[in-house]
Amino acid sequence: MKILGIETSCDETAAAIVENGNQILSNVVVSQIDIFAEYGGVIPEVAARSHLETILPVIHKSLRDAKLDFEDIDAIAVTHTPGLTGSLLIGTLTARTLAILKRKPLYAVHHLKSHIYANWLSADNPPHFPLLALVVSGGHTQIIYMREHNHFEIIGTTRDDAVGECFDKVAKILGLPYPGGPAIDQTAQNGNPKRYPLPHPKVSNLDFSFSGLKTAVLRTIQAELGLSIKTPSFELKNHLSTQQIADFAASFQNTACDILLEKLSLALQSHPNIQSIVLAGGVSANQTLRTKTQSIFSKQYQIYFPEPRFSGDNGAMVAAAAYFESLTHTPPTNPYTLSIAPRTPIH
Ligand code: AMP
Ligand code: MG
């Protein structure tokens, strides 16, 4: 079954064709990073306009790269929630129109399900159930229990900031370029992760909190520089040496990863029959997170990370998620009525 997957939930315009949920026939991603680097963040109206200009060429390229015509496609899949309203609208309206004109079944896919299913792409030995997915992205930080395909149970979630958002905000304080996550990952390689001890939040059960960590970094920088807590965060980078920036990046990253993995350990204790651990979302590209996860859990569990090209937003993961929906007999959606939703929890 060949599925055309379309993704426009934030600032990547993406389309891909995937056969049977794991064979990549094409994968086209046009990122808007260059546009937003200048502003230090995504501007929703600009993102939507850019999707509008790019979506049709991206879809055409995905067909051309796969050497296929629309007649060869069995279904279309599109991200319809969660995400930026204007961005989601461009992808879903395009997919709805194509589904009607080309008479193809249309699957509406939840963005976090696709991030999880990125782990099935090109996998010779796919994850085994039951599994725990640690979803770490710019908008979400969740631990999700999957008993089988298409069964999603949120067992832990963030009470405030997402971990990716925290990487981005700390990077901004340190004067690192947008997007902050990859910049911290790279800068931390020259830093000492033990130089600045940072607190772990005290949150009961399996939930997370990352807003306190961002403030702790801010206060530690002010104290290190001997500046008042009233010093605005945007001024601090001018006083930090290259080594201090690297040490703060490494200390923050180390603490953020430890907080994530402590909760994952707790979750594993309360779910004793887990076979696989699956990481998903943009932050799953982080080298320290990957290394720590392997070293702590790989003796007992199979560990999965998406290939780096599939850890950020892409159309292939949308096609994969739709394929597994079709396998579990989820009916396609009505292309005349499909609506978008900026926020819907995975279910
Ligand atoms: P997503 O929301 O899944 O599209 O992922 C975007 C988020 O992932 C942003 O907050 C990025 O800063 C973050 N991110 C991407 N690459 C890395 C990395 N190597 N380390 C940490 N965070 C990252
Ligand atoms: Mg995403």
Phi-psi category of residue 78: left, alpha or beta, with phi > 0 → left and psi -120 to 50 → alpha: beta
Multiple choice CATH, 128-306, 3.30.420.40, 2.30.30.40, 3.40.50.450, 3.40.50.300: 3.30.420.40
Atom of ligand 1 nearest to the CA of 186: 19
Name the DSSP class of 120.
G
Q: What is the residue type of 169? A: K
Task: Determine the Cα–Cα distance for residues 290 and 193; give it in Å rounded to an integer.
Answer: 16
Nearest to 70 by CA among 100, 114, 36: 100
Q: What is the pLDDT along the chain (347 residues), one digit of tens a residue?
A: 999 999 999 999 999 999 999 999 999 999 998 899 888 889 999 999 999 999 999 999 999 999 999 999 999 999 999 999 999 999 999 999 999 999 999 999 999 999 999 999 988 999 999 999 999 999 999 999 999 999 999 999 999 999 999 999 999 999 999 889 999 999 999 999 999 999 999 998 999 999 999 999 999 999 999 999 999 999 999 999 999 999 999 999 999 999 999 999 999 999 999 999 999 999 999 999 999 999 999 999 999 999 999 999 999 999 999 999 999 989 999 999 999 999 998 88
Atom of ligand 1 nearest to the CA of 164: 10
Residue nearest to atom 22 of ligand 1 (CA): 181
Task: Determine the Cα–Cα distance for residues 174 and 194; give it in Å rounded to an integer.
Answer: 17
Q: How many residues are recorded in the chain?
A: 347
Instruction: Return the domain boundaries, the chain.
Output: 2-119+310-327, 128-306
Query: Would you say the CATH fold of 128-306 matches that of 2-119+310-327?
Result: yes
The answer to whether the CB of 35 falls within 8 A of the CB of 87 is no
Q: How far is the CA of 336 from the centre of ligand 1 (A)?
A: 34
**Contact 282 CB / ligand 1 (< 6 Å):** yes
Q: Please, what is the end-to-end C-alpha distance for the chain in angstroms?
A: 25
| CATH architecture of the region 2-119+310-327 | 2-Layer Sandwich (3.30)
How many Cα atoms sit within 13 Å of 173 on the Cβ side?
24
Task: Determine the Cα–Cα distance for residues 175 and 223; give it in Å rounded to an integer.
Answer: 18
Quick one: which ligand is closest to 260's CA? 1
**Contact 313 CB / ligand 1 (< 6 Å):** yes
Task: Determine the Cα–Cα distance for residues 309 and 311; give it in Å rounded to an integer.
Answer: 6
